[in-house]
Amino acid sequence: MGNSFGKVFKISTFGESHGKGLGVIIDGCPAGLPIDEAFIRQELQRRKPGQSKITTQRKEEDECQILSGVFEGKSTGTPIAIVIMNTDQKSKDYSHIADKYRPSHADYTYQEKFGVRDYRGGGRSSARETAARVAAGAVAKLFLKHIGVEINAYVSQAGHIKLDKPYQELDFAEIEKNIVRCPDPEVAQDMIDYIDEIRKNRDTVGGVVSCVAKNVPVGLGEPVFDRLHADLGKSMLSINAVKGFEYGSGFEGVTMLGSEHNDAFYMDGDTVRTKTNHSGGIQGGISNGEDIYFRVAFKPVATIMKDQDSVNQAGDQVTVSGKGRHDPCVVPRAVPIVEAMAALVLADFVLLKRLNKLDV
Amino acid sequence: MGNSFGKVFKISTFGESHGKGLGVIIDGCPAGLPIDEAFIRQELQRRKPGQSKITTQRKEEDECQILSGVFEGKSTGTPIAIVIMNTDQKSKDYSHIADKYRPSHADYTYQEKFGVRDYRGGGRSSARETAARVAAGAVAKLFLKHIGVEINAYVSQAGHIKLDKPYQELDFAEIEKNIVRCPDPEVAQDMIDYIDEIRKNRDTVGGVVSCVAKNVPVGLGEPVFDRLHADLGKSMLSINAVKGFEYGSGFEGVTMLGSEHNDAFYMDGDTVRTKTNHSGGIQGGISNGEDIYFRVAFKPVATIMKDQDSVNQAGDQVTVSGKGRHDPCVVPRAVPIVEAMAALVLADFVLLKRLNKLDV
Amino acid sequence: MGNSFGKVFKISTFGESHGKGLGVIIDGCPAGLPIDEAFIRQELQRRKPGQSKITTQRKEEDECQILSGVFEGKSTGTPIAIVIMNTDQKSKDYSHIADKYRPSHADYTYQEKFGVRDYRGGGRSSARETAARVAAGAVAKLFLKHIGVEINAYVSQAGHIKLDKPYQELDFAEIEKNIVRCPDPEVAQDMIDYIDEIRKNRDTVGGVVSCVAKNVPVGLGEPVFDRLHADLGKSMLSINAVKGFEYGSGFEGVTMLGSEHNDAFYMDGDTVRTKTNHSGGIQGGISNGEDIYFRVAFKPVATIMKDQDSVNQAGDQVTVSGKGRHDPCVVPRAVPIVEAMAALVLADFVLLKRLNKLDV
Amino acid sequence: MGNSFGKVFKISTFGESHGKGLGVIIDGCPAGLPIDEAFIRQELQRRKPGQSKITTQRKEEDECQILSGVFEGKSTGTPIAIVIMNTDQKSKDYSHIADKYRPSHADYTYQEKFGVRDYRGGGRSSARETAARVAAGAVAKLFLKHIGVEINAYVSQAGHIKLDKPYQELDFAEIEKNIVRCPDPEVAQDMIDYIDEIRKNRDTVGGVVSCVAKNVPVGLGEPVFDRLHADLGKSMLSINAVKGFEYGSGFEGVTMLGSEHNDAFYMDGDTVRTKTNHSGGIQGGISNGEDIYFRVAFKPVATIMKDQDSVNQAGDQVTVSGKGRHDPCVVPRAVPIVEAMAALVLADFVLLKRLNKLDV
């Protein structure tokens, strides 16, 4: 249970870190969409390990293969299955933690919940599963591009290094120009230096990914439970290491007065617009045509290269010693994952909106 | 679409602010649960308007009636329908906004999405809908009490007035002793004074509700999408006026190092415990037996008693004049709603956990 | 669980035979549909007990009330809740079977499944629940009428009395002109006489309801599991007392050769048509524009006015004595129920079809 | 949409007849189940083409590969993905029908619904998709075996050749001993001769598959929509070429009197049993512990080796000429598919039953 996401643009993922393969079925992609495989591969490249000195040095090629649902370059309306076979399965690396519970990992909870677990590299709880999301999200992005929606995520905080500018002042074209994916080159360099220092200390640190969706049609989101921001929030909180989500004014908005916070409406030609956007583009759970804006908090990666106290399955006190090749800070690689999940949520609601009125 | 919540302990709500009635169907409550109607009424009392000087002075009796699913005082395993008839329907009050879009309300987005809307008191977008959630949440609480789970929410911030103590130092028995529902009497008084001042200024302000669940069994939450905190987050973000959600270390955790943030395991007799709880009781999306702890940000109520610029359906510039009886700050009445949604999420996962292993 | 039906035009029913009330929430009816309450009442009249000498003489007024989702006569896109309060609750009538298992009723299975049951009139297992379906189906019919779809069900067999004419030769305007709802007046009279005789013998008998949907758009049904006929079949099999479902050539089709059974295509102007319709209007699980045609088998009503051997909850051998006012044959009152469920399935797929292509 | 089945033991299938591969994700198989891969392969062998002279001579090896969800031979509670790569993709064979609508196939309806279709071998509408169901059904069977449930399907009719014996008199061990899968050797030979004759005439014929499930626990099935027989019916009607479903007394039961049809209860030691089983093991939609018994009608295969009139996409009159290697009668190969779907439905309800009562 729990491995599907979406209502009518629906994905189901499978796969463990060190199993034979992982992947996703997309059920509900409309027929006739040109499926650009190169774009899917490119999105996977943005997520893959080993891409820079501030990410894990682990090598995974993440070559995907589309098994179904595409014919002569277009989606057919039938399920699109995308599979990524695991090639770097070094299972032996993990025997030392087979019965140990790594602190702040899912080892203990999986063991208790299921009574059995694939301990190799975290098994299903590994962030490797997000590769499947990125592949599916790429298809969702292709659908959204068709209607003009554009999504950009970026790193706005790494540890204590913050990008304080409002998103309106940023040049999103800068995001992919540096390895930390922060659109401000100077702040980016500070972040890179800081993460590199953390890495050398064999430690890890958290960060924040911000995300902006532009040209979103009015009317996305289904009250009362499936509000646009509620589903965005769930999708983000379902990403490994995420600890918080806020949109528009977020937690800071609580200190504002209603008279400051309310977004006054005005007419921009024939279009209803708001003068401010504390609502983050969402009112009553439904998009209002303004930019969707939200922030996602990631905790420090749990795997550190230091000895830690813990217990094992037998209930003995043990030491867990950090090994392997891990990310000192997860946010640079989280950027495409945040975008993918946002794209999946928006694609879902774009389709659902077709059901709202008597006629289309 | 979008009016149901939960997977196997499932609720579906209905009703507009000024329609004939509102209510909820609970499908999936196990059979044999004693249904304490007085408790359901008591929970509704905690949410109802007019309960103190810092809430709206609107009077709604919120008398609920159970139509089905209970026989001789016990749940029968069939749907439990609870209905609350609307008695204070003063529809005339709303003619002045029939075609106006109130700033930061859902008027514009509902109109665009559906092409029609019940403008009386916000219709379906009114927070009155949460009465149905509180009734359903009361049933979920009864189920959770049966297995020993205890949920307490409280106001931890009202505008800039913060309760800074960690929850472990609070006496939850104090929560219901003051009208703002803050467990620290001194901070509570500051909050009350501040909200009252805001009210007198005909303005509104936001706040934060914190929530703690104790005695939660290990193993709740379904990876990878239906993580416990992802569903908690969605449930909270689906409440009117919520702008953010964080659990455990939350947004503050991003500046911590992995070596500080990781929760070391130790044995407490036969029980696996963690020395710290930055994880907020959830690891890998699954409860680990520690306290579940999260915070929910509420924006200032959009209805203020001041004139505001806006537009109407015809695209004319208009003035919206505040009328009626509204909350200056939503958080005191949000406390039982947060608890209700948390109870619904936990009850759902308690049942789903029965499906995880080969035998039960 | 199990009390909801439909994917995007979704209903959830509640209520027991002798509880306070029963009803339905419709979530997903598009906004802007004129809701003709008189039509809903009229459909309920067609299902209600006491309508003729060949139905139960029990009196239930089945007055429905719309609590939400309709504003100024039109659907608003929010949940439409319809409630029918029970007035004729004669609960005392049922004390004699409180602990007895009536043969071929759900008493034993409910008791075993839930460990508790509302024994009054069958509780949730009573066919009284279908009143909620008929109310919801009336709304679905209103939606289908808007796009020109017409559904007619009729009694084609009562016990051994069969209507042998193909549906194409029948005048559906005759259906409501006789109390058995058979469009052939002569066969109708035979059926009435036969059922009346059965009734006098204090026994019951089964029957078949046939159903035809005309002007159904091409493209309804979602392969591979949610084929149009699979969902129609499930919807019919979910009606009390149904034992079988077949569409198009059905069980008789198994003896045909492929060369006889295949429906040859031809052009009727610009329209693709088939010369025969053994497919019952459905090919590959998707409507092809021809008439949808299916048949539903109902068993004899289990409540008979004769003594029967049985056991009670304690495991003693007992006699169950028929009492009360029951239908000698269920099919006349089943006609509107079959239509209602067909309408719900078709409305669901009409909406889902909007999602199939890249653009609408 | 529509490519998933099941509520908590849930499958999602993908793949076209001549795409790269097909397969299934099983989400919800409890952890700890020994996964016997040889058994899965054996079930696929029972379905695969080319197994005898009365099935298609097409060769497909149907080698399956488990990509995830199994560790050290046991299910882990995470999704089990099973993939079958297509090796015999002879796509060239199908160019002659690229724009033609084969009578009683899904060519026309897919084209209209999606605006695009993979015409090779029927694409997604091909019965090749059922290989994925058989693989998933094998896993469900392993789970059911663990609790003692046994499912046997067999051919009870091929064209006009019927097996008239009640299932109680049959020796299910005979089913796999002949190529038509009929447990009566003499009738089996008649069926084989008849199908072979049909094949030589380049025609096809329909048939009936009967199915019996033994040792089914009391309490499976969720009223009111998800009745056990309603879900069984839907699952069967979702199989290619199925035209009807009946359980217990089925269509024949309609002529019976209530006094004949009711299944009297008696005590067999401590067990409540029924003297007859017209209910087919299901009362009120819930299993009662007696044998589950149902019948499934299959139409003649639409692909015949004869010329047929039809139209093409441009609206021209054309001739469709039969080519290739197809089944003269689908029922022998349908037997494992019927069993697979029955197993999936029962496994789902076995798990759901764990949710019915307050405690487990």
Question: Does A209 carry a binding-site annotation?
Answer: no
Contact criterion met (CB < 8 Å) for D355 and B28: yes
User: Which residues 13-72 of chain B have a CB within 8 Å of chain A?
Assistant: 13
Residue C95: per-residue pLDDT: 77
D159-196: pLDDT as tens digits: 999 999 999 999 999 999 999 999 999 999 999 999 99
Q: How many CB atoms lie within 10 A of CB C197?
A: 13
Q: Going by C-beta distance under 8 Å and a sequence separation of 6 or more, which residues neighbour residue C39?
A: C138, C141, C142
Say whether the peptide bond before residue C224 is cis (omega within 30 degrees of 0): yes
Residue numbers in D near A3 (CB within 8 A): 25, 27, 78-79
Give A255-305 as a DSSP string: GSBHHHHS--EEEETTEEEESS-TTTTEETTEE-SSPEEEEEEEPPPS--S
Which parts of chain A register pLDDT below 50?
Answer: none
B172-207: pLDDT as tens digits: 999 999 999 999 999 999 999 999 999 999 999 999
CA C186, chain centre distance (Å): 25
Euclidean distance between the first and the last CA atom of chain C, given in angstroms as a whole number: 35
- Weakest mean pLDDT among B332-346, C100-114, D85-99: D85-99
Contact criterion met (CB < 8 Å) for D67 and A23: yes
Residue A89: per-residue pLDDT: 59
Contact criterion met (CB < 8 Å) for C243 and D254: yes
Measured between CA atoms, the residue of chain C closest to residue A224 is C78
Check pLDDT > 70 for residue D89: no
Check pLDDT > 70 for residue B88: no
| Partners of chain B (3+ Cβ pairs below 8 A) | A, C, D
Residue C351: per-residue pLDDT: 98
pLDDT classification of D94: cutoffs 50, 70, 90: confident
Q: Are C267 and C329 in contact (CB under 8 A)?
A: no
H helix and E strand count, chain A: 7, 18
Residue numbers in D near C250 (CB within 8 A): 243-244, 297
CATH number of this structure's domain D4-353: 3.60.150.10
Residue C88: per-residue pLDDT: 63
Question: Does B126 carry a binding-site annotation?
Answer: yes
Residue numbers in A near B357 (CB within 8 A): 114-115
Spatial strand order in the sheet of A10-14 = A4-5, A10-14, A21-27, A80-85, A64-66
| Whole-number average pLDDT of chain B | 95
Cα of D78 to nearest chain C Cα, Å: 23
Residue D56: per-residue pLDDT: 81
Considering all CA atoms of chain D, what is the largest pairwise distance in Å, rounded to the nearest integer?
A: 70
Residue C91: per-residue pLDDT: 57
Residue D93: per-residue pLDDT: 65
Host H or E run for residue B196: helix B185-200
pLDDT classification of B52: cutoffs 50, 70, 90: confident
What are the Cα distances from residue A235, in Å, to A24, B231, B240? 16, 9, 19
Residue D88: per-residue pLDDT: 63
What are the Cα distances from residue A4, in Å, to A10, A238, B211, D26, D33? 7, 11, 28, 11, 22
3-state DSSP assignment of residue B223: coil
Residue that the structure tokens 């199939």 belong to:
C356
Contact criterion met (CB < 8 Å) for C28 and A355: yes
Q: Is D225 on the interface with C (CB under 8 A)?
A: yes
Residue D53: per-residue pLDDT: 85
Residue numbers in C near A355 (CB within 8 A): 8, 28, 30, 351, 354-355
Measured between CA atoms, the residue of chain C closest to residue B74 is C116
D14-63: pLDDT as tens digits: 999 999 999 999 999 999 999 999 999 999 999 998 888 888 877 777 89
Contact criterion met (CB < 8 Å) for B355 and D351: yes
| Partners of chain D (3+ Cβ pairs below 8 A) | A, B, C
CA distance D284 to C124: 10
Question: Does A102 or B321 have the greater pLDDT score?
Answer: A102
Contact criterion met (CB < 8 Å) for C8 and A355: yes
C33-72: pLDDT as tens digits: 999 999 999 999 999 988 888 888 777 778 999 999 999 9
Contact criterion met (CB < 8 Å) for A257 and B205: yes
Q: Going by C-beta distance under 8 Å and a sequence separation of 6 or more, which residues neighbour residue B346?
A: B140, B144, B149, B151, B213, B216, B220, B292
Contact criterion met (CB < 8 Å) for B354 and D354: yes
Among candidate residues A240, A1, A18, A13, the one with its CA nearest the CA of residue A119: A18
Structure tokens at B152: 């307490």
CA distance B333 to B320: 26
Measured between CA atoms, the residue of chain C closest to residue D254 is C206
D285-340: pLDDT as tens digits: 999 999 999 999 999 999 999 999 999 999 999 999 877 678 999 999 999 999 99
Cα of D290 to nearest chain A Cα, Å: 30
pLDDT by residue for chain C (360 residues), tens digit each? 899 999 999 999 999 999 999 999 999 999 999 999 999 999 999 999 888 888 887 777 789 999 999 999 999 999 999 999 998 655 566 777 789 999 999 999 999 999 999 999 899 999 999 999 999 999 999 999 999 999 999 999 999 999 999 999 999 999 999 999 999 999 999 999 999 999 999 999 999 999 999 999 999 999 999 999 999 999 999 999 999 999 999 999 999 999 999 999 999 999 999 999 999 999 999 999 999 999 999 999 999 999 999 999 999 999 998 776 789 999 999 999 999 999 999 999 999 999 999 998
What letter represents residue C313's amino acid? Q
Contact criterion met (CB < 8 Å) for D356 and B77: yes
Say whether the peptide bond before residue B224 is cis (omega within 30 degrees of 0): yes
pLDDT classification of B242: cutoffs 50, 70, 90: very high
Residue numbers in A near D116 (CB within 8 A): 31-32, 71, 74-77
Contact criterion met (CB < 8 Å) for B14 and C79: yes
Residue B206: per-residue pLDDT: 98
User: Which residues 104-123 of chain D have a CB within 8 Å of chain A?
Assistant: 113-118, 123
Residue numbers in D near C300 (CB within 8 A): 253-254, 256-258, 260-261
Contact criterion met (CB < 8 Å) for C8 and A146: no
Question: Does A325 carry a binding-site annotation?
Answer: yes
Torsion sign over Cα D99, D102, D106, D109: positive
Residue numbers in A near B287 (CB within 8 A): 109
pLDDT classification of B93: cutoffs 50, 70, 90: low
What are the Cα distances from residue D341, in Å, to A308, C230, D335? 49, 13, 10
